[in-house]
Amino acid sequence: MKKVVKFGGSSLASAEQFQKVGNIIRADEDRRYVVPSAPGKRFDGDTKVTDMLYDCYAAAEAGEDFTEKLQNIKARYDAIIEGLKLDYSLDEEFEIIKKNFAEKSGSDYAASRGEYLNGKILAEYLGYDFIDAAEVILFDEDGAFDAEYTNRKMAKRLKKHEHAVIPGFYGAYADGKIKTFSRGGSDITGSIVARALKADLYENWTDVSGFLVTDPHLIRNPQVVDVITYRELRELAYMGAAVLHDEAIFPVRKAGIPINIRNTNRPEDPGTMIVATTSQKSRWTITGIAGKKGFAAVTIDKDLMNAEVGFCRKVLTVFEDNGISIEHMPSGIDTMCVFVDQEVLQEKEQLVLSGIQRAVEPDTLEVQADIALIAVVGRGMRQTRGTAGRIFSALAHANVNCRMIDQGSSELNIIIGVKNDDFEKAVQAIYDIFITTQL
């Protein structure tokens, strides 16, 4: 087997964590390709190295003396090297970084050094080859990731290496200038490497024992999901579930490679398998609950709306012309409701409302703010009668008024709208009816 293993920032925050990672990799000879993040927080109140790099570069860009800030970053890495008892130095690397910061090489370059330096140390510690991600991950001139070219180039390069460390989070333009993915982008790098290798498994090691049914900040000690499909994960990630960067799904999904979410601090836990499809039944009717606050609903009423050709298009064009993306759009015979990000709408609210008034001349036009959307997702809902009824019953018992319900045609998810103030109470009620009562 070939396994690609990615380790998050908390897994590589200190020498002690590095040792755990080393033990995990050495415990399975199939773990031959490793993607590291930058060092994360070692304790509450600590600062991630990526944030330290951004801060240091901001000082350099402002023409301030950044020497002390850079030394503090170097001290983090030196502590790891000393703790691992390695005969290794990053002195030359930091001289290069200092020069490039002074020459204002860009914030993307600055941020990428966290993963780059951690990759250097990890390769030395493991005795693996080091491959600079800037040499194998390409962005086009518009800053878009070039997936197909990268796949070919990465595959060709990796054939020359039996074991390798490829730092996460960044790549480069054709001219060599560094370009990063969005924050958390090391997950994407791991997925890219897995696809190029045609790996059997992509293991993503973090500080939780798998994908949780819901946010642990909302529910204390939520249950871990054994198996989840890419489609379920995509629905939940879109609504804020954050164990894995949502863009990391696409490269491995295309290649049919499963992802295993594991816990570096509890390597004996099996974690969660993320797969294309499965015959395995979920332990519960639902797989997960995720949600976000801060939406607004624009409701348009007009008699015989359904007979007016192009009505919906005209309404959506108004949002498009104002640069506002649509979250959800439930509709009735003479009513349509458009949910959008409240902050984004407020900037252009009157332009949107007057635009709709001119475009379709509605009978009534209303805006409701402070709405939270909750996604209840699960492949088990297709075969289970009464799922929506159980949700409404749970919300009613919790004295939560449901402002909207929208079920996708795949029967994979149900979206519920509630007041912002009822968000936590609603998630708790849904969790209790589907999970707690089954334990």
Tens of pLDDT, residues 13-59? 999 999 999 999 999 999 999 999 999 999 999 999 999 999 999 99
The continuous run of DSSP H or E covering 376 comes out as strand 364-377
Whether residues 165 and 301 share a domain: the answer is: no
* Separation of alpha carbons 91 and 394, rounded Å: 60
Whether residues 314 and 244 share a domain: the answer is: no
Confirm whether 406 is domain-assigned.
Answer: yes
Q: At residue 262, does pLDDT exceed 90?
A: yes
Angstrom distances, CA of residue 330 to CA of 396, 415, 422? 21, 10, 21
Q: Which two tokens stand for residue 199?
A: 């790996």
Whether residues 131 and 216 share a domain: the answer is: yes
pLDDT bracket for residue 281 (50, 70, 90) = confident
Confirm whether 134 is domain-assigned.
Answer: yes
pLDDT bracket for residue 409 (50, 70, 90) = low
What letters, b where the CB count within 10 A reaches 16 and e where it falls short, cover 192-230? bbbbbbebebbbbbbbbbbbbbbbeebbeebbbbbbbbb
Q: 207: helix, coil or strand?
A: coil
Confirm whether 402 is domain-assigned.
Answer: yes
Q: How many domains does the chain have?
A: 2
Pick from 101-105, 112-116, 254-258, 408-412: least confident: 408-412
pLDDT one-digit tens code per residue, 312-340: 999 999 999 999 999 889 888 899 999 99
Tally the C-alpha atoms within 13 A of residue 99's C-alpha that lie toward its C-beta: 6
Q: At residue 271, does pLDDT exceed 90?
A: yes
Pick from 105-114, 167-176, 230-239: least confident: 230-239
Confirm whether 280 is domain-assigned.
Answer: no
Work out the mean pLDDT of the chain and round it to a whole number: 94
Confirm whether 281 is domain-assigned.
Answer: no
Whether residues 105 and 246 share a domain: the answer is: yes
pLDDT one-digit tens code per residue, 200-252: 999 999 999 999 999 998 999 999 999 999 889 888 877 877 777 768 888 89
**CA 377 to centroid of chain Cα atoms:** 17
Confirm whether 282 is domain-assigned.
Answer: no
Whether residues 190 and 314 share a domain: the answer is: no
pLDDT one-digit tens code per residue, 378-404: 988 877 888 889 999 999 999 999 988
39 and 80 Cβ atoms separated by less than 8 Å: yes
pLDDT bracket for residue 410 (50, 70, 90) = low
Whether residues 263 and 394 share a domain: the answer is: no
The CATH code of the domain that includes 373 is 3.30.2130.10
Whether residues 240 and 294 share a domain: the answer is: no
Q: Rounding to the nearest 10 degrees, give the CA dihedral for residues 208, 209, 214, 218.
A: -50
Whether residues 298 and 256 share a domain: the answer is: no
Predicted local confidence at residue 219, as pLDDT: 94
Predicted local confidence at residue 311, as pLDDT: 95
Whether residues 54 and 194 share a domain: the answer is: yes
**213, 242, 275 - which closes a domain:** 275
Q: Which two tokens stand for residue 383?
A: 């075969």
Predicted local confidence at residue 184, as pLDDT: 82
**250, 275, 300 - which closes a domain:** 275
pLDDT bracket for residue 63 (50, 70, 90) = very high
Whether residues 374 and 245 share a domain: the answer is: no
Beta-strand pair 31-36/164-165: parallel
The CATH code of the domain that includes 83 is 3.40.1160.10
The continuous run of DSSP H or E covering 126 comes out as helix 107-126
Q: Which long-range contacts (CB under 8 A, 24 or more apart) does 220-226 make?
A: 222/431, 222/435, 223/283, 223/284, 223/435, 223/439, 224/269, 224/271, 224/272, 225/272, 225/282, 225/287, 225/288, 226/270, 226/272, 226/273, 226/280, 226/282, 226/283
pLDDT bracket for residue 438 (50, 70, 90) = confident
Determine the structural domain holding residue 358 and report its residue range.
Answer: 288-438
Percentage, residues of the chain above pLDDT 70: 99
Q: Tell me the mean pLDDT in the region 92-121.
A: 98
7 and 36 Cβ atoms separated by less than 8 Å: yes
**222, 250, 275 - which closes a domain:** 275
Confirm whether 296 is domain-assigned.
Answer: yes
Confirm whether 57 is domain-assigned.
Answer: yes
Q: At residue 303, does pLDDT exceed 80?
A: yes
Whether residues 208 and 184 share a domain: the answer is: yes
Whether residues 88 and 230 share a domain: the answer is: yes
How does DSSP assign 237-256, residue by residue?
HHTT--SS-GGGHHHHHHHT
Q: At residue 258, does pLDDT exceed 70?
A: yes
